[in-house]
């Protein structure tokens, strides 16, 4: 967290929280959502200002109830999540890079949702893979030690037998199934924080 944010929190400790105005989309873009956008159920305008995006990234946290928020000075701006708390993309040097520009290291688990989303878990970080990188990662999957075709992955996802695995950064991860509808509860986050 930025020092200036810590100072603002100490100076103004009772600023009301903000809900619904900031969202993280499934490709890792921050989106500003004014009242009209919220009422219409639209995603909002993509934030393009690099300094603002960097400030949000450095001050992106979670509370004890699984709500993600951006600490904007003394105010918590809670974040609506289209997918997961973090969005990862593949990176040739670092393996996986989060939308916050931090490398996702020490992956512990890999999941495949019934909707076809690939998720990586490392400690408290739950990151859904950007859909533009899914085909690249799926091409690395194996089923019972053999290269897995798209049809084989879909059959496994539908309840088929066998061990689906992902060789990743020198390790082999057994891929686990997860229902998309169960993601938030399973990993302890809220997609739509509310007061």
What domains can be seen in the chain, in order of their start residue? Answer: 3-81 (3.10.540), 86-184 (no CATH)
Nearest residue to 26 (alpha-carbon basis) of 124, 140, 118? 118
Q: What is the pTM of this model?
A: 0.91
pLDDT in tens, the chain (195 residues): 778 767 766 666 777 899 999 999 999 999 999 999 999 999 999 999 999 999 999 999 999 999 999 999 889 999 999 999 999 999 999 999 999 999 998 999 999 999 999 999 999 999 999 999 999 999 999 999 999 999 999 999 999 899 999 999 999 999 999 999 999 999 999 999 999
Give the list of residues 6+ apart from residue 151 with CB closer than 8 angstroms, or none: none
**What pLDDT, on a 0 to 100 scale, did the predictor assign at position 5?**
67
Q: Note the pLDDT tens digit of each residue in 43-52.
A: 999 999 999 9
CB 99 within 8 A of CB 26: no
CA dist., res. 39 & res. 81, Å (int): 16
Pairing, β 75-81 against β 18-24: parallel
**Which 8-state DSSP code applies to residue 66?**
S
Q: Note the pLDDT tens digit of each residue in 104-130.
A: 989 999 999 999 999 999 999 999 999
Quick check: helix, strand or coil at residue 126?
strand
């Amino acid at each position: 967290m930025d020092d200036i944010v810590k100072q603002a929190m100490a100076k103004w400790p009772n600023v009301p929280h903000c809900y619904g105005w900031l969202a993280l989309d499934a490709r890792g873009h921050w989106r500003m959502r004014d009242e009209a956008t919220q009422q219409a159920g639209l995603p909002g305008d993509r934030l393009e200002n690099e300094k603002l995006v960097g400030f949000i990234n450095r001050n992106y946290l979670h509370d004890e109830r699984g709500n993600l928020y951006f600490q904007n000075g003394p105010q918590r701006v809670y974040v609506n999540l289209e997918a997961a708390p973090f969005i990862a993309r593949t990176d040739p040097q670092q393996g996986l890079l989060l939308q916050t520009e931090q490398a996702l290291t020490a992956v512990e688990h890999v999941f495949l949702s019934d909707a076809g989303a690939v998720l990586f878990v490392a400690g408290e970080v739950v990151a859904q893979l950007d859909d533009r990188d899914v085909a690249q990662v799926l091409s690395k999957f194996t089923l019972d030690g053999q290269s897995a075709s798209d049809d084989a992955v879909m059959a496994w996802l539908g309840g088929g037998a066998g061990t689906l695995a992902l060789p990743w950064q020198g390790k082999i991860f057994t891929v686990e199934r997860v229902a998309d509808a169960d993601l938030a509860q399973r990993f302890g986050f809220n997609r739509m924080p509310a007061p």
